[in-house]
């Protein structure tokens, strides 16, 4: 595993960086599964600062005013479509619910990402031959 790639991931909210076109910022949009069932909202984006690319979505569900929320990671590769209000992922509610548990202490541990990409069946972004997914179209 390429330690440089995984060590470089950081939450966008923990940086001074912004998304150039605010229409393309998917944070706070509703995340739905392939069947249209709501999974939660995009709470944050984990970015690879070295390449300036989003690698993982942090999705929050439940709770009240941010307290008691369940958090899961979903690789950006799972995005099937994006609209002005929602992000659709090519996964099911059950699959996301059974994903590796979010642990804030492990957010920057390489093993966390390796297990996540393996669980969802996507090639890890640090692997040979990885191609960044085409960013879905944003309707204007």
Cα torsion at 24, 30, 34, 35 (round to 10°)?
Answer: -150
* Nearest Cα to Cα of residue 86 among 109, 59, 113, 64: 59
Q: What is the mean pLDDT of the chain?
A: 80
With a pLDDT cut of 90, the percent of the chain lying above it is 34
Examine the pLDDT at 26 and tell me if it is beyond 70. yes
What distance in Å separates the CA atoms of residue 131 and residue 77, rounded to the nearest whole number?
10
Pairing of strands 30-32, 86-89: parallel
Domain ranges of the chain: 3-16+27-120
Count the neighbouring beta carbons within 10 Å of the beta carbon of residue 126: 19
Mean pLDDT of 78-88: 94
105 — phi, psi (to 5°)?
-75, -20
What are the tens digits of pLDDT across the range 87-106?
999 999 999 988 877 665 65
Mean pLDDT of 101-129: 75
What are the tens digits of pLDDT across the range 13-24?
888 887 777 778
What pLDDT is recorded for position 69? 66
Least confident of 13-27, 47-61, 107-121: 107-121
DSSP 34-84: TTS-EEEEEEEEEEETTTTEEEEEEEEESSBTTBT-EEEEEEGGGEEEE-S
CATH code: domain 3-16+27-120 is: 3.90.50.10
Please say whether the beta carbons of 87 and 78 come within 8 A: no
């Amino acid at each position: 595993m390429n330690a440089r790639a995984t060590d470089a991931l950081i939450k966008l909210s923990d940086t001074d960086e912004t998304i150039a076109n605010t229409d393309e910022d998917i944070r706070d949009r509703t995340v739905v599964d392939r069947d249209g069932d709501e999974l939660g909202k995009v709470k944050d984006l984990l970015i690879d600062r070295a390449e300036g690319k989003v690698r993982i979505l942090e999705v929050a569900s439940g709770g009240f005013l941010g307290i008691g929320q369940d958090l899961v990671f979903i690789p950006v590769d799972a995005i099937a479509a994006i609209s002005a209000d929602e992000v659709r992922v090519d996964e099911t509610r059950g699959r996301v619910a059974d994903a590796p548990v979010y642990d804030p202490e492990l957010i920057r541990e390489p093993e966390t990402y390796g297990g996540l990409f393996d669980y969802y069946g996507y090639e890890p972004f640090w692997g040979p031959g990885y191609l960044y997914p085409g960013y879905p179209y944003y309707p204007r």
